[in-house]
Each structure stands twice: as structure tokens, then as C-alpha cells.
């Protein structure tokens, strides 16, 4: 994968991304900015022209990103939803996570869309996602490993910046807590991806053969996964 960042008048930075597996040009706008994904053989100028053709749509989508990302009652992960509540000036504003709620406290002069409140909501949501991941992902991985006769040494959950998961040469697997914001199809794909790495540490043809044996849609899921941006992960 290779990238190039251009500055588009009226829009700002646009990241052009060449992917070996891409067959069409695709435009996405998230909280992290504007991206154009394209096949590896297409020149960057074609990606820039594609963005220019859709500049009105990009502008509209970017405008949507200016509002609060985290809202009252919003679902987070698989088990929680957000609850914002005002407290008196002498009460603590530390966030709290229960079995089903992420409680974000605000001063009387604060609003949900303020940067400080959104920051507390994101921070507390990460704690909730970590709890969910530690509860749900290890048994899910164990079941898939048993089904496909794979062995691994250990599994841990961390907040990763650039990977959904990893597997080292000692077959220790680490999973990104932000996986809990993805649909289960993609979560299972990542788990199978790391299990395939217990056999092949690289992304060779042998690796993909093993992964496709467990998940025939592996290539499609890998491409689609690139376009998913978890809400909390994007905010963070």
C-alpha cells in the first residue's frame, strides 16, 4: 500500500491510497479526513480528479463531522450505551462504566458537544470497550481455534493504533479493543487472520490459502475492513 496526501481547495487534505487488491476508485469521508482508495496501477492524478468530481459531496460529508460524535443513548460496542448527566459543582465528573451504561458527567455549564465532555465520553467509552473485549474476544478466539485446529500461546487485549490484531513468533496474539465497534463478521475475520499467522507469520500465498480455507470470503472482508472507522477509535 502506498499513499500520497494532496491539498484540495475548499476541502483540505485528501489522502490518496493505492491498494493492491482494489479494483475500483472509492471515496470515503470520516472524522479522520477524506480518503480516496484506488487500484495500485492507477496514477495519483486520476484519484485527485475523482475527488474533484465529487467535491460537493465531500464538502457535505465533512460538514457532518463538525457535530458531536458521541450522543445521548448512543450504542457503544456490543453491550453499552452512553448516558450524559449534569452534576453539581462539588461532585466528581469522573466517568463510570456499569454493565450496560457508560455514564459521562458534566458540569452545569457544559454541553454534550463541548470538547471536554466529548473527551471524557471517549475516554470512558474506551474503558467500556476494553471490558467488553476482555470478556468476549478470548472465548470467541478459543472456539474458532478449536474449530479449525489451531493453537496459540496467549491472547491479550490492548488499545492498538494501527492494527486490529497481531501474532508474534511465539504465537502470542494481541487484539485491538476497538474491534468491539465492528460487526461480528469482521471481528471473526480478524480472529481468523491472527490464527492463520500461527502457521504463517507473513502475508504470503500460503498464508492466504490457509485463511481462505477457514474463511472463503477473506479477501473481500479484508478489503471491506479497510473502509470501517470505529466511532471511538476515530474520535481518539
Task: Give the model confidence (pLDDT) of 191-231 as tens digits.
Answer: 999 999 999 999 999 999 999 999 999 999 999 888 777 77
Residue 159 located in a structural domain: yes
Domain boundary among the residues 89, 105, 129 is at: 129
Specify which residues 80 forms β-bridges with: 76
211 and 121 belong to one structural domain: no
Domain boundary among the residues 87, 107, 129 is at: 129
Contacts of residue 68, Cβ cutoff 8 Å, sequence gap at least 6: 112, 113, 118
Q: How is residue 87 written as a grid cell?
A: 452534576
Contacts of residue 119, Cβ cutoff 8 Å, sequence gap at least 6: none
Average pLDDT over residues 99-122: 91
Q: How is residue 189 written as a grid cell?
A: 475475520
123 and 140 belong to one structural domain: no
Q: Range with the lowest mean pLDDT among 19-23, 24-28, 119-123?
A: 19-23
Residue 108 located in a structural domain: yes
Q: What is the pLDDT of residues 174-190, one digit of tens each?
A: 999 999 999 999 999 99
Closest to 8 (Cα-Cα) out of 66, 49, 65: 49
Is residue 7 scored above 90 in pLDDT? Answer: no
Contacts of residue 27, Cβ cutoff 8 Å, sequence gap at least 6: 34, 35, 36, 37, 50, 51, 54, 57, 58
Residue 52 located in a structural domain: yes
Domain boundary among the residues 129, 154, 169 is at: 129
Is residue 236 scored above 60 in pLDDT? Answer: no
43 and 99 belong to one structural domain: no
Q: What is the pLDDT of residue 113?
A: 85
- The values of phi and psi at residue 90, to 5°, are -95, 5
201 and 139 belong to one structural domain: yes
144 and 202 belong to one structural domain: yes
Share of the chain above pLDDT 70, in %: 95
Q: What is the pLDDT of residue 129?
A: 97
pLDDT band (50, 70, 90) for residue 19 = confident
pLDDT band (50, 70, 90) for residue 68 = low
94 and 115 belong to one structural domain: yes
Question: What is the DSSP-derived secondary structure letter of residue 207?
Answer: H
Contacts of residue 57, Cβ cutoff 8 Å, sequence gap at least 6: 27
Cell numbers 457532518 correspond to 64
Q: What total number of domains does the chain contain?
A: 3
Q: What is the pLDDT of residue 114?
A: 86
- The domain in which residue 103 lies consists of 75-129
Is residue 235 scored above 70 in pLDDT? Answer: no
Kindly report the CATH number assigned to the domain that includes residue 231: 3.30.2010.10
E strands, the chain, are 2-8, 12-19, 26-30, 33-39, 75-76, 80-86, 96-97, 101-106, 154-158, 165-167, 172-176
Chain centre to alpha carbon of residue 220: 17
Residue 37 located in a structural domain: yes
Amino acid at each position: 500500500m502506498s499513499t500520497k496526501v494532496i491539498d484540495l481547495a475548499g476541502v483540505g487534505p485528501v489522502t490518496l491510497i493505492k491498494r493492491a487488491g482494489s479494483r475500483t476508485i472509492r471515496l470515503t469521508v470520516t472524522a479522520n479526513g477524506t480518503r480516496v482508495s484506488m487500484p495500485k496501477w492507477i496514477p495519483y492524478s486520476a484519484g485527485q480528479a475523482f475527488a474533484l468530481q465529487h467535491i460537493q459531496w465531500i464538502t457535505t460529508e465533512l460538514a457532518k463531522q463538525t457535530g458531536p460524535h458521541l450522543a445521548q443513548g448512543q450504542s457503544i460496542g456490543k453491550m453499552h450505551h452512553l448516558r450524559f448527566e449534569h452534576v453539581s459543582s462539588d461532585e466528581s465528573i469522573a466517568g463510570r462504566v456499569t454493565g450496560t451504561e457508560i455514564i459521562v458527567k458534566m458540569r452545569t455549564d457544559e454541553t454534550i458537544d463541548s470538547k471536554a465532555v466529548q473527551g471524557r465520553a471517549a475516554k470512558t467509552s474506551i474503558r467500556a470497550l476494553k471490558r467488553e473485549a476482555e470478556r468476549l474476544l478470548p472465548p470467541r478466539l478459543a472456539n474458532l481455534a478449536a474449530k479449525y485446529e489451531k493453537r496459540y500461546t496467549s491472547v491479550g487485549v490492548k488499545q492498538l493504533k494501527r492494527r486490529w490484531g497481531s501474532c508474534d513468533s511465539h504465537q502470542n496474539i494481541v487484539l485491538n479493543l476497538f474491534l468491539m465497534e465492528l460487526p461480528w463478521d469482521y471481528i471473526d475475520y480478524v480472529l481468523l487472520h491472527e490464527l492463520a499467522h500461527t502457521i504463517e507469520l507473513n502475508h504470503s500465498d500460503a498464508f492466504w490459502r490457509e485463511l481462505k480455507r477457514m474463511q472463503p470470503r477473506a479477501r473481500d472482508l479484508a478489503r471491506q475492513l479497510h473502509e470501517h472507522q470505529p466511532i471511538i477509535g476515530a474520535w481518539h
